[in-house]
Structure 1
Amino acid sequence: MSFTLSPEALLEALHWRYATRKFDAARKIAAADWHALEQSLVLAPSSIGLQPWRFFVVTDAAVKERLMAAAWRQVQVVDCSHFVVFAVRRNLGADHVARHVARMAEVRGLPIESLAKFRDMAVGNLDQARAEGRLDKWQEHQLYIALGQFLASAAVLGIDTCPMEGFEPAKFDEILGLKGTEFASVVACAAGYRVPDERYALMKKVRFRTEDVIVRV
């Protein structure tokens, strides 16, 4: 399969992307573009393919206002077109693996019995991580893979983003109805379009030299 995006176009999009401080509150993401961004989240890779997440897309102005209050009044929350909260599914176990295996069988047209070895491996990995006290943190890390895919996909579409950890997770959970559930807020991302006079957009991107971060072995 070939893709039309050239290496030059990809790098141009990544250079263009930055953590947007000021969004144009009057400009909204078109439905087709937003559908593509939602699918970039659905298609995000995860360890063993377990997808330990749920993505809450917030466009309601009143809910945005409440979330902004729990994010130290960062205006990106209310001014962006779509605000996404990345929530992890905590304490994964055999029931989650069973749902995943059932979906694999459905999509690939396989008898569910043929996936028993994979199911046992996945459950064993989760049980080991739980015993070592690292299960939830391991699953939280998966959300950053999805976030990275979302940021890159948005840049390719010419849509601005601002990833955010600066909020009170417990308050986000309460606002989104997650309190007492198996889900918990971890990170968020505003998406929309920058204002024309955004000074940060004009600044050169500062990164270490390639030879300082890339080691070819």
Structure 2
Amino acid sequence: ASYGLQPYHVYVVTNASLLEKLKEKGYNQGQVTDASHFLIFASRTDLNDRIEHYLTLATQGDAQKREAMKDYEGMMKGFSQSLSPATEKAWADRQTYIALGFALAACAELEIDSCPMEGFDPPAYDQILDLPANIKSVVCLAIGYRKDGPKMPKVRFSKEDLFTWAQ
């Protein structure tokens, strides 16, 4: 993630009662309760606190190390101060999608089936999970091993439809 701040949190939901509630607010998609693991990727909008936490971790509380990071700290804080709350949320959401991408790649590498999901009511998920005000649900990921093959064949657009070579 940008600056190493990882402005997201991943919730791994295993509680059957919670999963049923989430399924209802996820348009009754079966993956919510059928998957062996259901993850909710949420973005964080506490960037200034995150910067401070990052610096504490990076310097292990050492004042000399902190002083050596002053320029980097200034750059991060300058970036943070340049963002409106809406822009900060949009940036954190995009960073959260990067984390989702890595989770999808890890699942593929391990030959674990995965299904990213945006079809849900984020404010309802936030309420069900009792998320803090600075953490908001962005995207979900159902993972596990499917029992049966796909019910329908996969349809993929051609590479010509998806890619343009700028040469």
TM-score (normalizing by structure 2):
0.89
How do residues 35-54 of structure 1 correspond to structure 2 at under 5 angstroms? 46-54=1-9
Structure 1 residue 213 and structure 2 residue 163: aligned?
yes
How far did residue 130 of structure 1 move?
2.2
CA distance in 1, matches of 2:118, 2:108: 20
Number of aligned positions between the proteins = 164
Q: Pick from 146, 151, 162: which aligns with 2:104? A: 151
The percent identity for this pair of structures is: 35
| Mapping for residues 1-217 of structure 1, pairs under 5 Å | 46-93=1-48, 95-106=49-60, 111-130=65-84, 133-178=86-131, 180-200=132-152, 203-209=153-159, 213-215=163-165, 217=167
CA distance in 2, matches of 1:181, 1:212: 38
Task: Give the Cα–Cα distance (whole angstroms) in 2 for the partners of residues 80 and 157 of structure 1.
Answer: 16
Distance 1:197 1:190 in 2: 16
Give unpaired runs (5+ residues) of structure 1.
1-45
Q: Offset at 1:97?
A: 0.6
Letter in 2 for 1:163: P
Could you say which structure has the higher strand fraction?
2
Question: Per-residue deviation at 1:216?
Answer: 5.2
Q: How far apart, CA to CA, are the structure 2 residues paired with 1:144 and 1:157?
A: 20
* Structure 1 moving runs of 4+ over 4 Å: none
Sort the Cα spacing of 1:117 and 1:85 in 2 relative to 1 into closer, same or farther, 3 A. Answer: same
* Residues 96-143 of structure 1: CA deviation (Å, up to 9, x unaligned): 21111111223xxx7122111111100100111228x51111111111
| 3-state SS, counterpart of residue 207 of structure 1 | coil
Alpha-carbon distance between aligned partners in 1 of 2:78 and 2:5, rounded to the nearest angstrom: 13
Distance 2:162 2:9 in 1: 36
Identify the range of structure 1 (166-175 vs 191-200) with the bigger mean alpha-carbon deviation.
191-200
The whole-number CA distance in structure 1 between the counterparts of 2:50 and 2:25 is: 30
For structure 2, the residue ranges without an aligned partner over 5 or more in a row are: none
Aligned counterparts of 2:102 and 2:162: Cα–Cα separation in 1: 24
1:91, 1:136 within 8 Å by CA — same for their partners in 2?
Answer: no
Secondary structure (helix, strand or coil) at the match of 2:67 reads: helix
1:207 Cα deviation from its structure 2 partner: 3.0
